Structure 1
């Protein structure tokens, strides 16, 4: 495992790896893109001071593992940690999806065509899965990521299929969550066999919660002067056990059949007890939020397929570890 951080500036490639420590990158399904942070050594000695101002906000850095490019990042924030250290926070290029607003209208465009049209307007490369949900809506003064998320919500409401957005270097990639199953393999040294990184689990903890549970869903019109209720769906057994907890979903121009489907889909998703698992394991570059991983820890009851909600990768002294937060997939 040979992770490097390369600065691309003024036509040059500069290896920052000898100058940095505490290299960390994180992703979470509730936030946009991937965040990378690290400490950067500075010094006022004669031969070292040339590096002190090497990095600036707005610079582009590349995270590699050997010859493989893992992702591109923009240096967004620089902080001074005393006389001999700086720290930096960077974001992958999904950051730009939150920095551009637009006005755009779709008339019965498929979800795939709508997202492609949106990204083409800003010359953003893309690889979008096929989604046939029809989108008819005007978006005004709203960021690109909010438009994409709204479209993906509409797809989910109608199909029960969850799609995840990832930034693959400079390509916006959207794939069905069920296609994102990973089986990361690691080896302890070059002369040992590979084995699943899930076999290295440590510090495992579980949490069950009804904090985000809802057991009744009401689908209503989004017309300002109307309070039309299109559909209602409830789980009476759940209500009898936990008490009534209602979610109101606002939709745009949906017929009754679609509204019932939306109500069923949302209720199915929200009427569950949250089952969160956190643990640490040896790191692997394929471990990202939004992906699925199979676990087999029968003593703790952590067995089956889990959704990676968030992950923090750390490189320290050449050792790559990951801390994961997951829920039952």
Structure 2
């Protein structure tokens, strides 16, 4: 009887060793062949639009109790958002002023903190400056149409995260209010409101970024006569500087207005004082598109072969001893 058990055990060891060796060889061959299966995956492209108009120099935001301009707070938020984006996300930084949006570059890969283009994107954010503006006006509604055209010129579709305080300058009236009823392309755009509801005066700065006064309420007056219906010069700001507290124009986050135009374009509005809220809103956006890519199985087969080849060195005797001990 004992001889019979020894024979069975020796044959079992032989069969197990042979089987594991054959399986390991087969799996290694498969790893060399490197088969793949097609998998659909989401593609995320973002255009982060930064309002750099002069109202964004208003100091009514803060980070860790440190007063900041809306522009600096927006840049701080953008830095934090970039560090949270997953590898493979493509990013472009756009600049809004006047009626236009200009992209620094078409969306490029942002590989997070350790990846190739991260430093370039961070540097672009650091250099966002109101002095880069090519116009003294700020016409947000009009910019939506120009932004949609810009995105259509990209080689790949992109989602929008648009930072602004909602300050239309000159103020809207019958002649300069663009109808958004026929607007197409704003689905899932995120409009981020930057600024406080209390507001503060808009500083007037020189070319060296030195304070020389504050914008007056008269600076937002309409040009008389024919200029009111001129598409090119529709109510520009003048160059007045407020002399006293009562003359200063108080700029506030126009949240009601931003919510209204966001609704008109079927977008998503979020307050910009919380990066978590912005990231949460971004998760609600649909991906730019879906693509099919080959998922290669080389490492799966190679790893499985290594595991099986290692297990063959565990003898049946050791397993039986472990089972006997457990029964006791």
Query: Which structure is higher in helix share?
Result: 2
Do the structures match in fold with TM over 0.5?
Answer: no
TM-score w.r.t. structure 2 length? 0.26
Which of the pair has more CA radius of gyration? 2
TM-score w.r.t. structure 1 length? 0.26
Q: Which has the higher contact order (CA 8 A, sep 6+)?
A: 2
